Amino acid sequence: MHGRRPTKNPHAEAEQFRRRAALGFVVVVLSLAGLAAWYFKLQVLDHADYATRSEANRIRPRPVVPARGMIYDRQGRLLAENLPAFRLDITPDKAGDTERLLAELGALIPLSEDEIEHFRNERRAGRGFRPITLKLRLSDEEMAVFAVNRWRFPGVEMEPYLTRHYPYGDLFAHVIGYVGRIDEQDLEQLGQGGSALTHIGKTGVERAYEELLRGKVGYERVETNVQGRALRTLGRVPAVPGADLRLSIDAELQRATVAAFGELEGTAVAMDPRSGQILALVSLPSYDANLFVNGISHADYRALMDNPSRPQFNRAVLGGVAPGSTLKPFLALAGLDSGVRKPEDRTLSTGMFYLPGNSRGWGDSHRGGHGWTDARKSIADSVNTYYYQLALDMGIARVEEYLTRYGFGQPSGIDLAGEIGGILPSPAWKMKQRKERWYPGDTVNISIGQGDWKVTPLQMVRGTGALADDGRLRRPHLVDARRDRFDAPWLPLTQPAPVLISDRPDHLQVVREGMVATVHGPGGTARAMGVGAPYRIAGKTGTAQVVSRRGTAAINPRSLPIHLRHRALFIGYAPAEDPQIAVAVAVEGGGYGGSTAAPIARAIFDAWLLGTPPEGMEPVDGPAPAGMPVDCAAEGPGCMAPDAAATSRVPAATPDADASGATPPARGARR
């Protein structure tokens, strides 16, 4: 017998359905409420945060590197310019496997070992989100190849930039210097704002005026797509371009100075004694500054470093030599100003000078001596004995005092980094450096510019300019003016007031007369350089010994290997009656100043005063004479036609009747 089936309870089932429906409804309502709350949080509470993130993904700030300021010479010739170029930048965080990327890129675009090594070093030292430059200055072919294959390389961008270029190559390498790629040390000095820059001034004017030339970095807001490619620019804070600089250097005089040296090595500095403006500054041999702009190759760098003549060494700023007899005009002035000597006081030169009780003698420039010698003759004929006795009578303390006043033993203050102060020998210096006391023989040695002396050509030309300009010792400088925009006026840079080295014009005149007699007098050591000159020259020759003599026997420098020969020196100014240019020349291995350095100085004088370049040198931009102002209206004050300007520099003068060829100096002469 079958049991009966249970009967349904419709009320219970309905109640159960209602409960389940209510529960489902509650769940749905809670879910919707939670979703609404989450949407509220996203859209309202966290709106600012997510909007910022979204904007950051779509719009990115990008630094705008300012154009570096241009550099011109006094005539407006462009010495340092900016050329448009493209580079390859890699952002490591977006690029993935950088080693694989380098291999694939290298198959399309030639990459040198130097470039790859530089990238790896920057990758290890830098942060992944910062772009790293892989290759600078892409060629047109390389840009086309990358543009076609750009989709294959995420995180790699071809960026436009301005690269530095020096049109004159090696002519101004030691003046302008060069810019180079920024390294970690540069970034530490520049701070966070410097991360957008790729280059910074390393040497010369580029380094000394880095802040002016660099300008200020700007920023722009760039809209990008999901791949990070730029779509458009939404806003910009413009960069401030660097200031342009105008140098006092004249490119034609610079070329003439280099040509005057020929195959010789050394340095020369030309300065306007009335203002301290540097007209030419040459250090030979030189090098092409363009090699360093985008990273010099190992081969080129090794070639420079292996060159025994050290092309990168700036002899005018860092090189020091004994002044030799070029010191004599300054010591003569010190003797007069100190009251130890009067212009008419005379000293007997017999050919050898001995200290009491000392058998070792000091020779004169002529074995037979010069006879009775006053201040003027001591300079013109380069009489050593006069200065041996003068220094002993003054005492080393007074010698040091006056020569310090003339600018020796201290930097000249030129606007180039790293200038040395040289060495002005003194008892304190000798005790500190050698732990030895000072002897009278040391005083005798330094009186003719030998011994432990070290002076730079800048110190020499600065002191010479002071003698020419009535005793006013000025700061030599290269940068004459600046402008902040290409259409803005040039603003002259303020220079410090000159320092007066002597308050006795009559004493200065005695020294100047002696320097004029050096070139135009009957016994002058530089008579040959004055032959045929339509203007009068004041000067002084000198020879800095590299090796000392053997006992009392003098050494003929021409008998020595070139690297052991004496350095030939000359200082002077012209025209003697109205000085407009002062020069200092130092020739390495040149032998004697009168026969080697003086002709170079004459060529510099002729180029500046007469507009006559050395033989074989063609003007680079026409026959306009040197020294004309840049921004000069035809009728403006201080402006004149080219012919008038050239004529005004050279007062009428008749060549000295006694200015015949100079006889070779006797052995052991220090001229």
User: Is residue 503 domain-resident?
Assistant: yes
User: What b-and-e string marks burial along 384-408, b requiring 16 or more CB atoms within 10 Å of the CB?
Assistant: bbbbbbbbbebebebbbebbebbbb
Give just the sign of the alpha carbon dihedral 593, 594, 595, 600.
positive
Report pLDDT digits (tens) over 382-428. Answer: 999 999 999 999 999 999 999 999 999 999 999 998 899 999 999 99
Residues 226 and 259 in one domain: no
Residues 221 and 271 in one domain: no
**Three-state DSSP state, 659:** coil
Residues 323 and 461 in one domain: yes
Q: DSSP labels for 604-635?
A: HHHHHHT--PPTTPPPSS-SPPTT--SS--TT
Instruction: Output the domain CATH number for residue 130.
Output: 3.90.1310.10
**What letter represents residue 580's amino acid?**
Q
In angstroms, the CA 118 to CA 629 distance is 45
Residues 111 and 170 in one domain: yes
Residues 346 and 199 in one domain: no
Residues 176 and 281 in one domain: no
Question: Long-range pairs for 641-650 at CB < 8 Å and ≥24 separation?
Answer: 646/609, 646/610, 646/611, 649/575, 649/580, 649/608, 649/609, 649/610, 650/534, 650/535, 650/575, 650/609, 650/610
In angstroms, the CA 204 to CA 305 distance is 19
The 10 Å Cβ neighbour count of residue 495 is 16
What does the DSSP 8-state code read for residue 664?
Answer: P
Omega into 285 within 30° of 0, i.e. cis? yes
Domains of the chain: total:
2
User: Is residue 599 domain-resident?
Assistant: yes
Residue pair 593/541 in contact by the 8 Å Cβ criterion: yes
Residues 238 and 260 in one domain: no
Report pLDDT digits (tens) over 618-631. Answer: 766 544 434 333 44
Which token pair is 652?
A: 């009428």
Which token pair is 576?
A: 């003697």
* Axis-axis angle for helices 328-337, 505-520 (nearest 10): 150
532: left (phi over 0), alpha (psi -120 to 50) or beta: left
Last residue of a domain, one of 610, 629, 649: 610
Residues 400 and 453 in one domain: yes
pLDDT at 224: 66
User: Is residue 393 domain-resident?
Assistant: yes
In angstroms, the CA 609 to CA 270 distance is 12
Which token pair is 485?
A: 């925009």
**What letter represents residue 256's amino acid?**
A
Question: Long-range pairs for 282-285 at CB < 8 Å and ≥24 separation?
Answer: 282/174, 282/254, 282/257, 282/258, 282/316, 283/174, 283/313, 283/314, 283/315, 283/316, 283/317, 283/319, 284/258, 284/315, 285/309, 285/311
Question: What's the predicted TM-score (pTM) here?
Answer: 0.80
Residue pair 508/502 in contact by the 8 Å Cβ criterion: yes
* Residue 354 φ/ψ, nearest 5 degrees: -125, 140
**Three-state DSSP state, 233:** strand
Residues 6+ apart with CB under 8 A from 20: none
Percent of the chain residues past pLDDT 90, beyond the cut: 54
User: Is residue 241 domain-resident?
Assistant: yes
Residues 71 and 133 in one domain: yes
**Three-state DSSP state, 287:** coil
Burial class for 39, CB neighbours closer than 10 Å (0-12, 13-18, 19+): exposed
Residue pair 453/446 in contact by the 8 Å Cβ criterion: yes
Written in H, E and C, the secondary structure of 259-276 is HHHCCCEEEEEEECCCCC
User: Is residue 45 domain-resident?
Assistant: no
Residue pair 598/529 in contact by the 8 Å Cβ criterion: yes
Element (H, E) at 546: none
Report pLDDT digits (tens) over 193-202. Answer: 666 787 899 9
Residues 231 and 374 in one domain: no
Question: What is the domain range of residue 268?
Answer: 252-287+315-549+557-610
Q: Is 297 a catalytic residue?
A: no
Residues of the chain with pLDDT under 50: 1, 549-553, 560, 563, 622-648, 652-671
In angstroms, the CA 285 to CA 547 distance is 23
pLDDT at 132: 82
Residues 205 and 329 in one domain: no
In angstroms, the CA 422 to CA 587 distance is 18
Angle at 649 between CA 174 and CA 645, to 5 degrees: 90
Instruction: Output the domain CATH number for residue 585.
Output: 3.40.710.10
Residues 6+ apart with CB under 8 A from 606: 533, 612
Burial class for 129, CB neighbours closer than 10 Å (0-12, 13-18, 19+): exposed
Residues 277 and 231 in one domain: no
Give just the sign of the alpha carbon dihedral 339, 343, 348, 354.
positive
User: Is residue 656 domain-resident?
Assistant: no
User: Is residue 48 domain-resident?
Assistant: no
**What letter represents residue 476's amino acid?**
P
User: Is residue 47 domain-resident?
Assistant: no
Residue pair 404/410 in contact by the 8 Å Cβ criterion: yes
Of the candidates 248, 283, 286, 325, the residue annotated as catalytic is 325
